[in-house]
Amino acid sequence: MKIICIGRNYGKHALELGNGIPEQPVIFCKPDTALLKNNEPFYHPDFSNDIHHEVELVIKIDKIGKSVLPNFSHQYYSSISLGIDFTARDIQNNLKAKGLPWELAKSFDHSAVVGEFVPLHNQDIQNIDFSLQKNGALVQKGNTSDMLFSVNEIICFVSQYMTLKTGDLIFTGTPEGVSKVSIGDRLEAFLGTQKLLDFLIK
Ligand code: MG
């Protein structure tokens, strides 16, 4: 399986990092070794002093898709979760300054945290509230209506370049409010009022 991530998909987050608003989706991938599940603790790596949380809606792909047409994108997923796209911001800033790829900042072990997947039912995927608390204080709060590129547009776009396979995950971008995590922190992520993530930084 692969983990596809969308960068700068919420305008206020793009601006908080000093980036412009993208004209097409910004795509990067994480390997399967980046996965961290079952609310296991995240062990802070030594190579960064500025690991940021980015809470994101995560889509699980249900079937193989190549060059999916926009009107059919919704048939390729039926469950969602929340995830944390952990980012070594210090490393990313160095790489960005040199015009180099972001993998070392984005694709390290356990940098893709995912919660339990819940069925979508008849919810409008572009009107979902989600939030993140750090040590009990609200740090990020978003609604998927603020995505610059919708889930269905992302599936259509990505599948022109990469065949989507059953079990692939798509991290759909983070709203504003990203900040550094430290050893001892507790992160809790909520889909509406349902808690899907609750884990410690160790
Ligand atoms: Mg992200």
Which CATH number is 182's domain given? Answer: 3.90.850.10
Residue ranges making up the domain that contains 117: 3-24+49-200
Q: Would you say residue 36 lies in a domain?
A: no
Instruction: Report CA(13)–ligand 1 centroid distance (Å).
Output: 9
Phi, psi (rounded to 5 degrees) for 49: -110, 15
CA atoms within 13 A on the CB side of 117: 17
Instruction: Report CA(7)–ligand 1 centroid distance (Å).
Output: 5
d(CA 202, CA 193): 26
Q: What pLDDT does 115 receive?
A: 98
Q: Would you say residue 41 lies in a domain?
A: no
Q: Would you say residue 43 lies in a domain?
A: no
Instruction: Report CA(195)–ligand 1 centroid distance (Å).
Output: 20
Q: What percent of the chain has pLDDT over 70?
A: 100
Q: Would you say residue 172 lies in a domain?
A: yes
Instruction: Report CA(54)–ligand 1 centroid distance (Å).
Output: 5
Q: What pLDDT does 19 receive?
A: 87
Provide the domain count of the chain.
Answer: 1
Q: What pLDDT does 38 receive?
A: 98
Instruction: Report CA(123)–ligand 1 centroid distance (Å).
Output: 23
Instruction: Report CA(183)–ligand 1 centroid distance (Å).
Output: 21
Q: Which residues pair with 186 in a beta bridge?
A: 200
Q: What pLDDT does 14 receive?
A: 85
Q: Would you say residue 134 lies in a domain?
A: yes
Q: Which residues pair with 141 in a beta bridge?
A: 131
Q: Would you say residue 80 lies in a domain?
A: yes
Instruction: Report CA(164)–ligand 1 centroid distance (Å).
Output: 19
Whole-model pTM: value is 0.97
Q: Would you say residue 34 lies in a domain?
A: no
Q: Would you say residue 115 lies in a domain?
A: yes
Closest to 173 measured CA to CA, from 50, 22, 33, 43: 22
Closest to 194 measured CA to CA, from 42, 38, 81, 56: 81
Q: What pLDDT does 193 receive?
A: 96
Q: What pLDDT does 121 receive?
A: 86
Instruction: Report CA(135)–ligand 1 centroid distance (Å).
Output: 21
Instruction: Report CA(152)–ligand 1 centroid distance (Å).
Output: 18
Segments of the chain with pLDDT less than 50: none
Instruction: Report CA(85)–ligand 1 centroid distance (Å).
Output: 5
